[in-house]
Amino acid sequence: MSKVFELTTEEIQELQSQQHTEVMQEIGFEESEEEVISTSEIKQILGMWERASQFVEKKHPQKVATGSASDLFASHLTLA
């Protein structure tokens, strides 16, 4: 006769978290501290992105395609 185990929501979440951690370790991902990026570094990077995207939009022969790609990339930056 088999026994039925009932787990609480917290126990299920803990098991799921443990499994996730084990899988990430197996595939080589280690949990690391998040790198802190200063506001000035972010502004500098965004400035570089703006310059690069303007250059590509101006010089690339397929202006519609590059404009669409730039817009898509920029929209993903704001979501992150």
pLDDT, tens only, 20-49: 888 888 887 665 667 888 999 989 988 998
Under 8 Å CB-to-CB from 53, ≥6 apart: which residues? Answer: 70, 73, 74
Higher-confidence residue: 1 or 65?
65
**Global pTM exceeds 0.75:** no
Higher-confidence residue: 14 or 77?
14
